[in-house]
């Protein structure tokens, strides 16, 4: 992630336009979805042959997409495959960011267009699709992150008004379930990343797995049955600033002590530490998003079922 995007994400106030898509991006998203949907339908039709019922498939896809909300029970619909495809679209893109009716029209046009007949033509079509996909991803991610950051602020503000939520340092918030367990004995946890909570895991978790923004405040974490933390996107930056100030303070104390010990004599070795090189523009930045973490000590009498980690990106 580039520095411009990081600065956008960490800004205290995000302009309204940062959360909106342009007319051009809206058109590109719609076109990308229509191509993807047409290709999927063409592939399914080819695989099923005579068993493929175009009317049922198309009808279910249109119904789900136009509904604007993912269908929870895909198997209960007339065509689960069509529902699954529409669900993926609805989960990856906000319905306000594309023209559903236009997608269906473009999809029909793509399906009516003969497939590439040569390898060169097929290669060009694939390259064009990849280029469009990369363009949408590049322009749409900042919009989604800006929306998440705005929602994050709303969640943290709402939490601040709840008597059960405690405000910790670095912007971290905490809520506990009454109990007597020590947090260092935790062995289970759930993690939800991003306000959209598009990544959720239930797995073994230990003290060292928690973000540093939490571990640095161990003395403020009371005994409990479970602990829930909200770790805002900027917590990591605040931790880095805190550690830098602490290091500078320690270096100043050491320098003062050395001055007292040495008097007017000059030290044989310079106490000045080498300055770390500034990151280059080409270096990748880690993606910074909000985390909601709940941790507890597993009860041997009723162990928690461990689920595999699931990572489903937005695009």
Q: What is the pLDDT of residue 201?
A: 63
CA 199 to chain centre: 7
176, part of any domain: yes
CATH number at residue 207: 3.10.50
5, part of any domain: no
As a whole number, mean pLDDT of residues 111-135 equals 92
Structural domain harbouring 43: 14-158
253, part of any domain: no
Q: Are residues 18 and 146 in the same domain?
A: yes
Q: Are residues 86 and 28 in the same domain?
A: yes
Q: Are residues 96 and 214 in the same domain?
A: no
Q: Mind listing the pLDDT tens digit for each residue in 235-280? A: 999 999 999 988 888 888 887 787 777 766 666 555 455 555 455 4
Q: Are residues 84 and 205 in the same domain?
A: no
How buried is 224 (Cβ within 10 angstroms: 0-12 exposed, 13-18 middle, 19+ buried)? Answer: buried
Neighbouring-strand partners of residue 175: 165, 228
Q: Are residues 62 and 131 in the same domain?
A: yes
As a whole number, mean pLDDT of residues 157-173 equals 96
Tokens at 185, concatenated: 């004995």
292, part of any domain: yes
Q: Are residues 178 and 154 in the same domain?
A: no
Q: Are residues 109 and 169 in the same domain?
A: no
Residue 12 has pLDDT above 50, yes or no: no
Q: Mind listing the pLDDT tens digit for each residue in 132-153? A: 999 999 999 888 888 888 888 9
Write down which residue in 142, 158, 174 finishes a domain: 158
Q: Are residues 67 and 130 in the same domain?
A: yes
Give the three-class secondary structure for 11: coil
9, part of any domain: no
Number of domains in the chain: 2
Q: Mind listing the pLDDT tens digit for each residue in 40-60? A: 999 999 999 999 999 999 999
- DSSP letters along 81-149, please? HHHHHHHHHHHHS-GGGS-HHHHHHHHHHHHHSPPP-SHHHHHHHHHHHHHHHHHHHHHHHHHHHHHHH
Give percent of the chain above pLDDT 90.
60
223, part of any domain: yes
Q: Are residues 103 and 231 in the same domain?
A: no
Residue 202 has pLDDT above 90, yes or no: no
185, part of any domain: yes
Q: Are residues 202 and 229 in the same domain?
A: yes
Q: Are residues 148 and 222 in the same domain?
A: no
Residue pair 166/174 in contact (Cβ under 8 Å)? The answer is yes
Write down which residue in 130, 158, 186 finishes a domain: 158
Residue pair 289/194 in contact (Cβ under 8 Å)? The answer is yes
227, part of any domain: yes
As a whole number, mean pLDDT of residues 84-88 equals 94
Q: What is the pLDDT of residue 4?
A: 36
Among 289, 271, 298, which residue's Cα sits nearest to residue 145?
Answer: 289
Average pLDDT, the chain: 83
CA 67 to chain centre: 25
Q: What is the pLDDT of residue 149?
A: 85
- Torsions phi, psi for 82 (to 5 deg): -70, -40
Return the ∠ at Cα 77 (arms to 198 and 95), rounded to 5°.
45
Write down which residue in 129, 158, 187 finishes a domain: 158
Residues 135, 136, 138, 144, Cα dihedral to 10°: 170
Q: What is the pLDDT of residue 163?
A: 95
Q: Are residues 91 and 18 in the same domain?
A: yes
């Amino acid at each position: 992630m580039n520095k411009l995007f990081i600065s956008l994400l960490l800004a205290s106030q995000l302009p309204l336009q940062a959360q909106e898509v342009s007319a051009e991006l809206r058109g590109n998203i719609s076109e990308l979805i229509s191509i993807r949907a047409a290709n999927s339908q063409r592939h399914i039709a080819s695989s099923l042959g005579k068993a493929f019922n175009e009317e049922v498939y198309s009808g279910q896809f249109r119904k789900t997409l136009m509904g604007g909300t993912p269908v929870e029970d895909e198997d209960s619909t007339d065509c689960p495959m069509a529902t699954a495809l529409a669900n993926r679209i609805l989960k990856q893109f906000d319905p306000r960011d594309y023209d559903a009716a236009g997608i269906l029209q473009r999809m029909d046009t793509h399906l009516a267009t003969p497939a590439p007949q040569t390898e060169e033509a097929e290669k060009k079509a694939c390259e064009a699709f990849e280029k469009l996909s990369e363009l949408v991803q590049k322009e749409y991610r900042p919009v989604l992150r800006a929306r998440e950051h705005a929602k994050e602020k709303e969640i943290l503000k709402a939490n601040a008004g709840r008597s059960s939520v405690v405000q910790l340092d670095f912007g971290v918030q905490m809520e506990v379930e009454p109990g007597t367990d020590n947090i260092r004995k935790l062995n289970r946890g759930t993690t939800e990343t991003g306000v959209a909570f598009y990544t959720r895991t239930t797995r073994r978790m230990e003290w060292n797995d928690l973000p540093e923004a939490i571990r640095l405040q161990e003395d403020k974490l009371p005994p409990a049955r479970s602990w829930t933390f909200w770790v805002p996107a900027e917590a990591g930056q605040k931790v880095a600033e805190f550690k830098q100030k602490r290091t500078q303070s320690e270096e100043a104390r050491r320098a003062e002590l050395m001055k007292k010990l040495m008097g007017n004599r000059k030290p044989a070795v310079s106490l000045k530490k080498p300055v770390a090189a500034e990151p280059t523009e080409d270096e990748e930045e880690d993606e910074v998003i909000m985390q909601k973490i709940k941790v507890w000590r597993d009860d041997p009498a009723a162990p928690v079922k461990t689920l595999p980690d699931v990572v489903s990106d937005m695009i």
